[in-house]
Chain A
Amino acid sequence: MLPIGHYLFLGLALFIIGVIGVVTRRNVIVILMSIELILNAVNINLVAFSRLYGDVAGQVFALFIIADAAAEAAVGLGIIIAFFRNRETVLEDEMDLLKW
């Protein structure tokens, strides 16, 4: 195993790229994909520390995060499809139904 700092910096890089994707892009599907990148960065951190301390709980937590990401992607994409049927758009600044 490499020194723990390598994995932490890799996780940080993926996290920041994911955050940039979430706050910068207009297409809602790309925003959801960037959220998946953020979750993966967190997983890398968890598994790296699990290997460092020899405790498998980090991997179990990462497993739960993957299950949760699946649930959230399914529901989020369902919402996008339902919205698309009504408004014919997938751009986040055109989804302004609550604006007066």
Chain B
Amino acid sequence: MLDQVIFYLFAAIAVVSAILTVTRRNVVHSAIFLITALLATAGIFLQLRAEFLFIVQIILYVGGIMVLFVFVIMLVNLDVAVRQLQFARQKWVALLISLALAAQVGLMFWSTGKMPGQGVPVLAAAPVDKLPLNSEAVAKSLFETYLLPFEIASVLLLVAMIGAVVMAKKRT
């Protein structure tokens, strides 16, 4: 019962914040609503008992990426941009196509649930008290099975760091 309340609460916050993110005129307001959408997603992770991912989402996404976004918004914030058109010229066609995509995928999810014996195998998830300790399980998997992707991800982050510094440096 508490599981369902938490899921619906965080799902509602996530969807409403996402809608507000893409529709606000003021970019800082968009950033704030993206922060709430990311926090709600972190809440969904916590409800799915993925505790390590919950805190990584908060530290990295909310505490790192969004701080970067807010800094850049403050650096490029133009007052004149607020009074211009917010939506591109192709907005109606784009909206139509996006809703068509949504209807297609949604119909696929709906029908696989209803057809007996086909589609996604519906298992029963493990009960909560039989779950292994989450941080230890993620760490074991990351450093044993997925060690090579882990090292490649660190090289990727190094490259991105160098690239961002070079791009944003002033040419004196």
Contact = CB atoms under 8 A, between A and B. Distances in A.
Contact of B76 (A18, A57, A60, A81): A81
Contact of A47 (B50, B97, B113, B159): B50
A52 interface: yes
Nearest to B132: A56
Interface string B86-100: 111111001101110
B76 A29 contact: yes
Nearest to A34: B22
B137 A56 contact: yes
A1 B4 CA distance: 8
A69 B61 contact: yes
Given A43-B41, A69-B65, A26 B157 contact: no
30 contacts: A1-B3, A10-B11, A12-B109, A14-B14, A14-B15, A21-B21, A23-B90, A25-B22, A30-B30, A33-B30, A33-B69, A37-B34, A44-B44, A47-B50, A57-B146, A59-B134, A60-B141, A66-B53, A68-B156, A70-B61, A70-B64, A71-B156, A74-B68, A75-B164, A77-B68, A78-B165, A78-B166, A80-B76, A84-B75, A90-B81
